Amino acid sequence: MITKEFIEKYQAYLYNLALRLVYYKEDAQDLTNDVWIKIIENIDSFEEKSEFKTWAYRIMINTFLNQKRKYTQLSFVNFVNTMDDLENNLLTDEYEEPFKKLLIDEAKVGCMMGMLLCLNPEQRAILIIGDIFEIDSHIASEIFDITKENFRKKLSRARNDLYSFMNNHCSLVNKQNSCKCEQKTKALIEKGYVNPDNIQFSKTLQRTIKDTLKIKSDALDTTMEKLYKNLYQEHPFCESDIKTFAKNLLKDKKIKEIFEL
């Protein structure tokens, strides 16, 4: 039987995967909830041939791809048009210096996560699993139920699409580009994309994806392929209210029916 402690152990990993698949916190919570219900309904079919996390990721990816029409989908063309329409202005003295940096980081993380929405759903999922979470292609191919060779080809296409866009438009990858986080943050606040009263992504003292998933990388590796990947892996590993989530999930009507509570 799946316990509250078991849910608490894996919830953060599933939530962070969901957040990067769908962007919005509420959608990520709903997707994660749907996945836990599927996990509990099908736990007897888990044969322990792979790690539980791998099996759970596979359920998450399948659920997301089957529900993809529910979630926001952008295009690179619309994304760059939106950013180009934003005025370039530095934040004024209305925010103190430490908080200014927090707002700029919030704009940077939110913008980069928005770029993921410009990839089609399968590309997005493959890039998150293969490049951001750095799951080995042998395991990743199991998650997507495709061959290792096919997974690598799909990952390469997704990587090229995202990198090409960032290299042409984002100054984090190419300093010659005019779209700079510190110059767009004020306009992003004015348009409501960044809310100073509700910081979503860039809270202080959060663990990063790289730290949490124990991803090892050479700090001196500045190849173009690694550059954008490292930027994403430095994003915060976002916390959800794990104890409350586990408690509420076990109160779900479907879960009560499964366990005859």
Residue-range domains of the chain with CATH: 4-259 (1.20.140.160)
Two tokens, residue 140:
């990743």
SS (H, E, C) 142-164: HHHCCCHHHHHHHHHHHHHHHHH
b/e sequence 118-144, b meaning 16+ C-beta within 10 Å: bbebebbbbbbbbbbbbbebebbbbbb
Q: Can you count the helices (H) and strands (E) in the chain?
A: 13, 0
* Residues 110 and 193: beta-carbon distance below 8 Å: yes
Predicted model pTM: 0.89
Sequence length of the chain is 261
Taking only the tens of pLDDT, the chain with its 261 residues reads: 677 888 889 999 999 999 999 999 999 999 999 999 999 999 888 877 778 999 999 999 999 999 999 999 999 999 999 999 999 999 988 899 889 999 999 999 999 999 999 999 999 999 999 999 999 999 999 999 999 999 999 999 999 999 999 999 999 999 999 999 999 999 999 999 999 999 888 765 578 898 888 887 654 455 666 778 888 999 999 877 766 776 777 777 766 666 554
Two tokens, residue 36:
């836990």
* Residues 227 and 173: beta-carbon distance below 8 Å: yes
